[in-house]
Each structure stands twice: as structure tokens, then as C-alpha cells.
Structure 1
Amino acid sequence: MAAIRMLIAFLCVVSALWLPSAATAGDRVALVVGNGDYRHATPLLNPPNDAKLMASTLDDAGFDLIGGKPLIDLSREDLEKAVREFGQRIRGASAAVFFYAGHGIQMNGTNYLVPVTAKVASEADVRYELVDVGLVLDAMDGNDRRMNIVVLDACRNNPFGGRGMRSASSGLAQMQAPAGTVIGYATQPGALAADGDGRNSPYTAALAEAMRRPGSTVFDVFNNVGVQVMRKTGGSQQPWFSTSPLDGEFHFFAPTGAAKPPPPGPAADREVAFWNSIKDSADPTLFKAYLEQFPGGTFRSLAESRLRTLTPIPAAPQPATPVPAPAPAAPQVAGTVAPPVLPGKPPSAGSMLFDASAVPYVKPAARETLSRYASAPSPKAFAVATNGSYAYVTSANGPLPPSRVARAALERCEFLAGRRCALYAVDDRLVVPPGTPLRLADFEIEKEGAVNPATVPFLTRADAFAAMGVYAGKSESKALALHWRGAYGYATGRKTEDEAREAALEYCAKHEPEGCFIYAVDDEIVWEVP
């Protein structure tokens, strides 16, 4: 019996030494990975440095690191092993952070982390060579009271190029955040992020700085990161984060100083998140909703000011007077066209909001569809041609700055009309007062010359602009296909130009089965519209 008790005690000691222990309540646990020394893909300089910077920051914030340090250049086996240990260690923890820097790709809407040993020659290799991000989310799921944070600085180009990877897309796909989870992306879903020219990527450098600010909530941190990265990259990279409802407050570094007010609680966090989501909108109903939910909110004066700007002041009632005779036509200026006076609808100089029934040139039979523009979310833009053709682009086509939305609307209109168009409305407001000449666009679609990634027409998504830069950097033979609604497809490194044309049209047709055409072959615009 004594021998049995000694054996049991020995096994308990061995188990305690061999198995990773679960975290106790109040613990903070982090898994930090930086992959850069790729054997079969483009090596990356910054991810190991990014992992070291993040590990140092989290260590100072009181996190226990899996492996006691940043894990650098992991194979698939080592990465999966680290994730399993991470899942065991965070049981009962108050906070868990997973940070990954390195290559990452999306296939059919699923995000994958790329181990340094990965060798992918076709789509069939993905499940055997890469690690599904869902594995990390599964390891973190199951505790609504724990703060889970996933950070993916992995939105670079597909490292395997076109090696039979037709289903691969640029950047990473947006994922649904499990309960109590925040997911931070280095840039918008579907877009590409920069590795950076310095020691660290722009995203990780800004994130480490934001995390160290005492008293910053998790919303403060990711919002500040977005602002800093956008400024540093000139707006070309816009970080993104998604979250599920969070119970309680969280700070990487606690507030310091007795004179400081108490940190904001969950209600304040919700207010900040709500405000950040609407502050650049042109929809007055959103600001009304903010004032109703947070009548004494921090941003009340700003909301009221935006509401006054966006809501037109009704004109005072005027006594009925006979309709005056039409005024003489305004003198025309080069590059402008005077709109016709619509029968039964004299232009009102006091009306500056989009009215489908008052759009000039458009035939009556086509006006029914214009109401779709009026109800579409902002940012959006509407363009019209003197032959009655029109086109519009809304935020449903992709997250774009208003200037690009306007250009896309003019490009679509020009393509459909066969002539230059005039910008008629941006969001719900007219560009010029009713009855005044419309100014034609001061540019035309480039139909010859060298391909310029910045002026490829019709594109309405941020990842599409990044893709044009990728196309420009690829070797011959290659071809680029477009559709006027914004779809595109390209093929590079083909044996012949004809093969590149065929493949580019095939890729474009996956999004728009009819209407794609060849815009460029190699680096020259050919404009082969059927």
C-alpha cells in the first residue's frame, strides 16, 4: 500500500511538471507569434521585430507569455502546439491576447496563418500546410467573462502568388467575434497592409504605443491605432476591429494619478464605440439616435452641431403668388451645360437636397430607379449625362472616401453615356443649386497609354486599388479585365497574351457573368470593349 501511495505521488509530481497549468482567476495570458523567415514564400523582415515589441509590451502589462517569450518562425506543428497550450493556460484567466505577425491569406472567406515551413502549390495543400485562424478562436471561446483579444498583423500580399490559388483573395476576411472578443486587423477586411520601412510595421508600432497609455480602454486603443496608422500611411492603410458585446471594462495599463477621473465603464465604452461608428456619416438619423441613447453624452454638442448642418432649415411659408415667367437662360461657360427646365417642376433655389423627380435630362421612364439612390447609405455620389444616362455609387459598393466615390460615379456614367458626365449630387446634397449649369468632369477615362494603378476606372473597393498595384508589379504575360460595376480580374505570368486575356476575363466573370472586357495587356491599356 505504501508503494502504491508513493507511485501516485510520483505521477502527480510528473503531471504537474509536464502538463501546462490552467490560469488562475486574475491571470493575464498571451501568445505572441512572429513569422518572417519563410522557406517557400517571400521572407518578411518586420514580423519577428513586431513580435518582440508586442511581447515586451504585454509582459510589462502583466501578461504571462506562452513559452516565456515571443515565439519566432514557427512551423505548422509548433504553431498548433502553441495554440493548444494557449487554450489550456487561459482557463480561468481574466484576459487572453493572441498576437500574430507574418503572412496570412484568405481562401473562400476563411483566414489562414502561414507557418514558415508552408509549401503551397495548389488549393488542396492549404488544409495540410496552413493554420486556420478559427483554431485560435475556438481555443478562446467558452468564457464570456474573460477579455479575449486577437490581433492579426497579417494582411500582406498572398505569398504564394497564382500557384493554383484561384480562390485566394487579397488581405483577410472579416470574422465574427465570439462572445467577449475583440479582433483587430492591420487594415480593412479584404485590403492589404504595409510591412513597413522601419524596424516595425506601422500597425504594430502604433498598437504598442496605444496600449501603454494608462487608463485607455480597449476601444480607445484600437481607435487611436486606426487614427495613427491612417496619418502615417496617408490614408492608404486603415486598421479595422470588430467586437462582440463586452461585459465590464479592460485596460492594458491601469489609470495612474489620484487626480484622474475614474476610467469609463461599459456604458461609456459603448458610447465611444457608437460615436466612432457614426461621426463621419452624412445621415442625420444616426446623430438623432446618438442623442436619444446618450442625452448627456460626451459628444452631445458635436452631435447637435452635425445635426444642424445635415438637417435643412425649413423655409418660412410664403403667400401664394403666380409662377413667374422663365428667366432668360444663364450664359454658358466652357465645360458646362445648362440643364433643361422640367415641366411642372420649376427649380427651387432654396432646395439643395437630392430629389429624384428633379434630376435633369433623365427620361421619365427611368426615374423610378432613382429612388434607390435617395435611400442608399452614404458616402455616395450621382452623375448624369446630357443624353439621359446616369450612374451612381454608394457605400454598399465598398468603404471609400467621398472623393473616390464621386470619381467612380463619373467613370460609370461616362462608360454608359459614351461622353463626359457632370457630378450632380454627393451624398444627399446637390453639387450645384437647381437651375444652374452643371460642370462636366475635368477628366476622361484613360483608354490608351501605360497602366496607372491610381486611375484604373470603375473600382469601388480599397482592396481593388491594392490589387492594381500588385498587377503593375507583376511580370509579363499578363492581362487585366474590368466591369463597369467595379468587378475586376487579372492574370499574370502566363505563357501567352491570349492565355492571360482568357484567364483575366474568367476571373472577372466570377463576379459579373456578363460585361467584363480587357482593359490592359501587360502594362499597356488596350480598352477592348466589345
Structure 2
Amino acid sequence: MLLAVLVLAAAEPAQARRLALVVGNDAYQKVAKLDRAGADAEAMAKELDRAGFEVSLHRDLTNTRFAVAVSQFYDKVKKGDDIIVFYAGHGVQTERGAQLLPIDIEGDTEFVIERLSLPVNGLLDSLERLQTRMAVVIIDACRDNPLRAQGRSIGAARGLSGPNVARGQMLIFSAASRERALDSLGKDDKTVNGVFTRELVARMRTPGVPFEQVAKDVQNAVEKLAATVNHKQRPLIVNDSIGDFAFYPGAGAVAQNDPPKDTEAAATQLQAAREDRFWDGVLKANNIEAYQGYLKRYPQGEYALIAHAAMAKLASSPSAVVAQNTRGAGPEPAPAATPAAGPSAVAPPSIAGPKPAPATPAMAVQPLPAVAPPASAAALPVQRTRAAYALPNGDRYDGDVLGNKRSGKGTYQFANGDRYEGEFADDHFLGQGQMVFANGDRYEGGFQGITKQGKGVMTFANKDRYEGDFVDNLFQGQGTFSFASGERYTGEYQRGLKNGKGEQLFANKDRYVGQFENDKPQGKGTTFHANGDVFEGEMVQGIKQGPGAYKFANGDRFEGFFVAGQFSGKGRLYMASGDRYEGDFHNNVKEGRGVHYFANKDRYEGMFKNGAQQGQGIHYFANGDRYVGEFVAGVRQGKGVHHFANGQTREIEYDKGVEKAP
């Protein structure tokens, strides 16, 4: 399973509470069920409890229960607390970012899926606003997109992509982009937890180790384990964290909890991590002395055979790069070998939207073959030329080259059917270009480095279309998203989600203008309904909630409080007929105690139910008379007393509003 970890840290208070929310979703109803998400969640919950966290554990959450669980947990969090959120279950990557799927997820479009899921970008924004001392978010999402498994072209085929991290944050993926994270190491692997989770839990137990180091140790250990079954999986770490948070304090620190007593296992894990770090240094040196130093320190080490082979290769070819880190070179697949006849033939990874451009090659590339000039001639300047060549992985390039680099204008055809046409610089997509994806998606606009950057237009295969600003592959800034369904949004985006001021036109022709947060109307705004009604007031997650005013097309107007989109609580209803009501409302109708002022100057004071007078009440007539008695469904019922303006009184009995004969 893919796993993402985000760490946010702030200034440390003297005493911080430790709170954890742990969610494991296995029992999916409409997509493939999972086997290990619940076990991973329980393992994390148990370990966090040992480390002194107050743990809230949830299993198999529906959309509604998921939202409630997150909301209730955040209600408990106070400024300065240490919190951890762990999620294990299905996830899907859409153009707007990673989405966490509840067990009742279903839908045929990204538009629907995004509205029934929990967006990771929104989760991260909420965590920043909580102002915790430290927050760790661990997202253990599905290996392969469960929606594509059902034949629906929604989201990337596998994997999740992380948003940018701010200062005080760390982001970890259990596998790089388009790598598949392992649940197990094969049929003989009896461990109940996924590869990443088991390594994380084991390394959490080491006293005094900062989480930043724990993450690096897990990164190395996971890759080493994956390599034993010929699988490529190297967790990706993006780190701008601050502070030295540790699950268990080291010697001399005041411990909230002691680590579990399996010290022998912990020592073994720590020794393996040290060997991994030593081997990384050997690879950077890449000389016989470095490999000899490794073998002297670890004669029976994990990399001993590789070290011997590297020494033999260096002895025969001293300039060769002969060893590689079996844990991989970075977040993208390792580049292919450079063909002798082509410039910069290191292949970029295949791109799937939102798709990064090829990464800068990690290995040296061969120069173009050239005829040696006479000894007396000066070196000629490098000239831009045209080249066309195929790469070993099946990709093809046709375009300008400068020296041994793709530079200028060209076309890059990926083996999977994706195609980029545009500007290159130093082997990167850089400048203006067009990317046509095999799934029918198309992007045209700016590229910088490996990401969509600047102004651009993204047209999806389902006819959805976004035009506006991009930052690091995500919608960021001003933009317009037009849906094939007829909906359209124009306004501000943050991290791929509607955030800030905007205007949304819905398929039913309703129109909302106002504030958005986490892709939904939130805060003050105005809704213009297709039938002519207009609402002005507070919105919460796309629903009318709180104070507001609703003007009907027929001239009626309500001012008061809304709950779940309906009149509820105290309010005033002004009717086009001249009538006015002031009092209690429930589910859009008069209910409770109130006063109804009639256009003819009559007035009723008393109880209401289902929009009509019900129960004890007093009807004041414009001529000075008044009636005191019971009302049912808006009419007088039973015995009552009529007080006349001249001071006389008479007891009268009514049946369904009709006076009974004496």
C-alpha cells in the first residue's frame, strides 16, 4: 500500500498532550475489499498507545461517519498538542490531488468521487490551522486504483502524489510515483502488516531517535526488503520539518512512556539502519578504498556481494560507475542505459496526469559521437542540431539537441502512448508545451522542471476542462473549471482545490458567488436559484448553515437561522400578501411559539406546528375583539372564550373552525 506521512511542527510547549486518530477501511461495498488495512491500523493504534497517545480507533467508515470522526477528533485538539492521524484503506489520485475513499464510495466521474471522498489537500490545510506543536499524518492508501479496476477511467492507475510541503512539514510516500508499494514479500510472508507499516512500527520503538531519522531508516529498510523479491520500492521523503520529535524520549529525557521491552529486535533494526547509511556513503565515493572499508566493517553485510563485484569491476575499468544503491535512486524509475548513437538517451518516466516531465538523469550520459579535430585546431563551440532516436525502454525523441542534451523544440513519444511536444532545456520539459495522454487527457501550457507551471489548459477525456494557473502540477491561483455536465467554476484555487473567492454555476442553473474552502462553498456567499429565489448568508461544506436571508421569487422573504439548508430556530417571514410571522421555525415551516401578523391588522400569538396554528393561542382582531382557545391545523377547535371590544365575553365551542350551535 502507498503510504504518505506529513509532519508539521511548531514551537514546543512545556507539556503537550498526545492525541491520535487511527482509521482502517477494509470492508468496501462497491469496490475491491482490502485485507490488511484494518490490521495496519490496529498495529499503529497499539504502538501509539504504548507511546503515550490517547488513541481514537475507527474501522470501516462510511462517508458520513468518516467526516464525523475527523470533525470530532479535531474538536478535541488544542493549540500546542502533539497529534497523529493514520489512515489505511483505498485512495485515488485525481487532478485535484489525493482522495481518501470511504467504504461506501461509488461514482462514475472524478467530479462525484471528489465530493464523496476526503481530500488530502483539505486535510493538510486543516492541520495547519489547528496550530498544533507537531502533527504527523500517515496515509496508507491502496496499491492500485480500485475504480480503474472496475473499468472506470477515474484518477491515476496507481499511486498517490503528494502536495508541496510548507515549513514545518514532512511528507513521505512508501513508494515513488508510479511504483507499487508491497503488502507482503510473497506467499511465504506470514506478517499480517504491509511492508512499510511493519518497518515503521519497528523503528518507532527506538528511544531518542527523531522522526526525521526514523523516516530515513524506514526508507532504506523498505527498499532493501523489496529488492529481495526483485521489486522496486523506495519511499520518497520531502522534508522541511523542524524540531526533534521522537515517539520515545532518549536517555536523560522525561519519558511519557517507555518503549516495549523487545530490545533485541529494536537493536537489530537500529544496526540495519546504520549499515544502510554507511552503504550510502560508499556509493557516493565509488572507489576501491570505500568498498574495502565497507567489507572490513561488515564482512557478512547485506551488500557484501555487491561490494566484491564493484571492486572487481573498478580494478578492470577504474572510471566505471559499477555499483548502485539497491534501494533506488529517487522518486522516479531509474533511467535506462544511454544508447551510443543518441544524445541524452536517459529516458524520463512515463507521465500520468497530473504528470511530471522527465526527471534530470541521475547517471552520466554519453556525448554524441564526434570526429576529433586536428591537434592544432581550437575546440569548436557546441552547436544545436536535430536528432531522432529510440530509447531502450521504447520511448522515442525527435527534435533539437545541444551537445548531448535535449534542448530546443522537440517531440517525446512515450512507450505507453503519452506524447509531449514543445520546448526542452537540459533534458527537461521547460517552457511552453503540449502533453497528450494515452487516456485522452490533454494539457497545453507552461512546464518548469518536471511539473506543470504557470498558465495552462487541461482538457480531460470526459470533456471536463480547466484553464488557469498551475503550481507544481496542481491548480493554484485563478482558474476556470468547466464540467461536461454543464457546471462551471471560476475563482481561486489552492493545492488543487477551490479555496477563496469564486463563482460556481451548477448543472441545474443555480449559481453561487462567495467563499469556498476544500472544494465546497464555505463562509459568506449568495446563491441565485434557477427558479428566481436568492439566498444570502453562511455556508458550511456547501450547505446553508447559520444566519442568512432567503428571498422567494414570489416576493416572500425569510430572515433568520438555517440548519442543514432549512429554516430552523428564530426567524422572520415576510409574505408578499402583507402578512408577517416572527418566531420559531423547524424544517422550513413555522413550528413552536410565534406571532403571525395578518395584512388586515389581525394578529395571532401562540403555538404553531407544521406551519399552522396548533395548540393554545390568542387571536387579536383589528376591531379590538380577541379569541382565547385551542387551535388545530390552523382553525379553532373545542371550547374558547371570545372577548368583545365592548367588554362583553362569551364562551364558544368550535368544531374544525365552525361554531357549534348552543
Normalised by the length of structure 1, the TM-score is 0.49
- Would you tell me which structure has more strand in proportion to its own residues? 2
- Would you tell me which structure has more helix in proportion to its own residues? 1
Computing the radius of gyration over CA atoms, which structure comes out larger, 1 or 2? 2
Higher relative contact order (CA 8 A, sep 6+): 1
Normalised by the length of structure 2, the TM-score is 0.40
